[in-house]
Amino acid sequence: MIRLQIDTAESMEALGEKIAEQLRPGDLVGLDGELGAGKTTLVRGIGRALGVRGTVTSPTFVLARTHPSPKGPLVHVDAYRLSSAAELDDLDLDLDQSIVIVEWAEGMIEELADSRLEIRIDRSSSASDEPDEVRTVTMIGHGQRFEDFRIES
Ligand SMILES: Nc1ncnc2c1ncn2[C@@H]1O[C@H](COP(=O)(O)OP(=O)(O)OP(=O)(O)O)[C@@H](O)[C@H]1O
Ligand SMILES: [Mg+2]
């Protein structure tokens, strides 16, 4: 388990870039954390590091969006409006050929792959008016693929 404190939205994107360096097609990443925790912000950094064209935005209404990249397709899923893992399965995600990242993943992706990286983002309880707020990011790698997953600090 890796736990980090991330103070700003920009650092969250930078963390996404570090994570992306270790991702390749076939990888599955699950993101959890309350509304506005910073899940999409993290994916934006992943997209930036992969070199996707344009900016990653929330796929809430399309459910899944594929961003071609030189390192393979990045498939960004928002499972918020899905009610079961079966509905996620119905999207026929190309798990073998893509890097698949799912927001609101808990309870949805566990059956999709034995190897997966689960990332949880928690807001601190102290609400403030500051645009940047501390987040605690907890990463747990499951399966062989993420045995050696590390983040350089
Ligand atoms: N430390 C931080 N890390 C990430 N985002 C932060 C941080 N501090 C402030 N923010 C702000 O919090 C918001 C996070 O929004 P974002 O869309 O990434 O969240 P989300 O978890 O994807 O939400 P949703 O559940 O609606 O999909 C952004 O406006 C971002 O600028
Ligand atoms: Mg989001």
| DSSP secondary structure letters along the chain | -EEEEE-SHHHHHHHHHHHHTT--TT-EEEEE-STTSSHHHHHHHHHHHHT-SS-----TTTSEEEE--TT--EEEEEGGG--SHHHHHTT---TTTSEEEEES-TTTSTTT-SSEEEEEEEE-SS--S-SS--EEEEEEEESGGGTT-----
Q: Give the Å distance between the CA of 99 and the centre of ligand 2.
A: 17
Q: Which fold has domain 2-146?
A: Rossmann fold (3.40.50)
Q: Is the CB of 122 under 6 A from ligand 1?
A: no
Q: Give the Å distance between the CA of 122 and the centre of ligand 2.
A: 14
Q: Is the CB of 133 under 6 A from ligand 1?
A: yes
For 95-152, how does the pLDDT look when each residue is reduced to its tens digit (9 = 90+)?
999 999 999 999 999 999 999 999 999 998 766 777 899 999 999 999 999 999 999 8
Q: Is the CB of 41 under 6 A from ligand 1?
A: yes
Any idea which ligand is nearest the CA of 41? Answer: 1
**pLDDT of 22 strictly over 70:** yes
Q: Is the CB of 44 under 6 A from ligand 1?
A: no
Q: Give the Å distance between the CA of 36 and the centre of ligand 1.
A: 4
Domain residue spans in the chain? 2-146
pLDDT at 127 (0 to 100): 66
Q: Give the Å distance between the CA of 33 and the centre of ligand 1.
A: 10
Q: Is the CB of 13 under 6 A from ligand 1?
A: no
Q: Give the Å distance between the CA of 44 and the centre of ligand 2.
A: 10
Q: Is the CB of 9 under 6 A from ligand 1?
A: yes
**pLDDT of 153 strictly over 90:** no
The pTM is what?
0.96
